[in-house]
Amino acid sequence: MKPEDHDQHADNVEKRNRAHLDGQHDAHDLAHDDSHGAHSSPLSDISERDSVVDANEPTPEDELVEQLLLHEIVPSVFADAVEQQEDADAAETLEQLGEAAAVEIIEEMETESAAQALAHMHPSLAVSVLEDLVEEDPTYAGQLIEEMDPDDATDLLQNLSDASRDRLLGTLGKVEAVKFRRLMEYPEKSAGGMMTTDYLAVRDTMSVREATEAIRRAETGEDWLYVFVVDWRGRLQGRATMRALLLANPAQRVMELCEKQVDAIKPNVDREDVAREFEKYDYLVLPVVDEEDRMLGVITVDDVVDAIRQEGTEDAQAMFGAGREEAVFSSVADKLRGRLPWLFVNLFTSSIAAVVVLQFDDMISSIAILAVIMPVIANQAGNAGQQSLAVTLRGIVLDEVRDGAALGLVRREAIVGLVNGTICGLLMGALVGCAEYWTHPGTPMWKLGYVVAISMSVALAIGTIVGSSLPLIVRRFGADPATASTIFLTMVTDSMSFLVFLGLAFLLSGWIGITPV
């Protein structure tokens, strides 16, 4: 912690540093200075790397992390180096350390640098680090929260335990605590949860000169392109660009040069819908207003990009039954809570396919090649269904699938599945037909080849129909279309593939030459 912070935490850190450094050998310090330079940071030149880097060569961050983990470098020196990095790079460096070491380094960093690095870390790890900081020094944790953008700070606060959150908020000033409590009233995945209250607003009665003076006095950590204009009740009246303010006559009224028709969004709108609005209209900033058009905050495009990335990651995990909030940094308990329930569901759905196969055990005993062909057909149907599922989910996310177009989508997917199934079925049927020459001499395997071809055509058509219709049905009931869709798709494709193939083989068993035991 730097001396200029002038707080109790800084004093404690300085004492720890002096005690730690006094115990070090001078030779170690001299060696460190010789290798890195007395006036340069080991990571200070990271931004000046060549654009092409050998992926197999260790980066300066990797080398410094290794030195720290091997206790070859003191945490205070490591913290100084991390502070020289860009916020996102600093976050990645801290993520390599793990929770305990990251806490130690953050405690050594300047408050502003530590806050921005923490805000850029993976949410689950950042929350764990903040929990530890609250336990060790709630005042310092509160200072970090105050240094962050309000939206980033709110995201972390919402995921803290109730006890840690209350303890941290208790260290803040009354105004700051009330602000964060109000922001936490909005769902995390809503426009209100995405917005920041750090924006520029001036009164509609101001002149350009008065507005400029107000902007100079404003305490904001952002570089804003727009200034929003509000009336005495805080209702949005328009917005003006910084360029317009700079070029305007100082005596001119702000309302004369501002854009009066300004799009805005309500705080309860889902963040996926917010992202669609930004994509459709190329917004950079979008104000959030209440039912009376009073400004509550603004959403910036960088927050929308983060939301899109998070939604994509969550949907991908949800498709396969992993926890939506799970990350590589999540605890074992969190991973179990997210995965185990869906594994139980998968256990049940897999049993359905097993029951179908059990009904034909006598026939399978008569000719073992049926057991060889079954998983091939089921696997092809499952893959076809996954392809259809992926395309449909993409259409839903991009709002390309309207209610009136759903039937047409399923029909097209069914045709694609039937055509692909016919082609793959003919190929597989031909292979099965040729099998009699080296596996079952004298047995008319070509007849079984017909059954395989027909079964695969039908199974792939079913797979694509289910893959395209399943997320549409789930969405119809108001649930997330991605939730465990792969598990249920696999259940249907496996069961139906086995039923179609074995059922058809049973019906034609006399013609094929199969005599059930």
What burial class does residue 37 get, using C-beta atoms within 10 Å of its C-beta: 0-12 exposed, 13-18 middle, 19+ buried? exposed
In three-state secondary structure terms, 237 is strand
Torsion sign (Cα): 281, 287, 290, 291: negative
Architecture in CATH for domain 201-300: Roll (3.10)
Nearest to 154 by CA among 178, 128, 134: 178
Q: What is the pTM of this model?
A: 0.65
- pLDDT in the model for residue 456: 93
Specify the CATH number of the domain 3-185.
1.25.60.10
Q: Look at 34-48, 315-329, 499-513 and tell me which has the smallest mean pLDDT.
A: 34-48
Query: How far is Cα 292 from Cα 408, in angstroms, rounded to an integer?
Result: 41
Q: Determine contact, residues 87/116, Cβ cutoff 8 Å.
A: yes
d(CA 498, CA 357): 7
Instruction: Determine what percent of the chain falls in helix, strand and coil, rounding each to the nearest 5.
Output: 65, 5, 25
Is the distance from CB of 358 to CB of 496 less than 8 angstroms? Answer: no
Domain ranges in the chain with CATH number 3.10.580.10: 201-300
CATH 1.10.357.20 residue ranges in the chain? 332-512
Return mean pLDDT, the chain: 80
Are residues 318 and 483 in contact, defined by beta-carbon separation less than 8 angstroms?
yes
Domain with CATH 1.25.60.10 in the chain: 3-185
pLDDT in tens, 286-323: 999 999 999 999 999 988 988 888 777 777 776 666 66
Q: What's the CA gap between 124 and 435, in Å, rounded? A: 54
pLDDT number for residue 71: 57
Where does the pLDDT of residue 122 fall: very low under 50, low under 70, confident under 90, or very high at 90 and above?
confident
Alpha-carbon span 515 to 517, nearest angstrom? 6
d(CA 191, CA 151): 11
The rounded distance, in Å, linking the Cα atoms of 367 and 370 is: 6
Per-residue pLDDT tens digits for 187-239: 888 999 889 888 899 999 999 999 999 888 887 656 788 999 999 999 999 99
Residue range 332-512 forms a domain whose CATH class is mainly alpha
Higher pLDDT, 475 or 27: 475
DSSP string covering 323-334: -TT--TTS-HHH
Closest CA relative to residue 239, chosen from 190, 280, 204: 204
Q: How far is CA 465 from the centre of its chain?
A: 29
Q: Are 462 and 377 in contact (CB under 8 A)?
A: no
What pLDDT shows up at residue 21?
38
Q: What is the pLDDT of residue 253?
A: 92
Residue 4 to residues 9, 109, 112, 399: CA-CA distances in angstroms? 12, 12, 12, 52
Report residue 290: phi and psi, to 5°: -90, -170
Pairing of strands 236-241, 285-289: unpaired
Question: What is the rounded CA–CA span in Å between residue 303 and residue 60?
Answer: 29
Nearest to 121, CA basis, from 140, 101, 135:
101
493, 466 contact by CB (below 8 A): yes
Q: Quote the pLDDT of residue 67.
A: 60
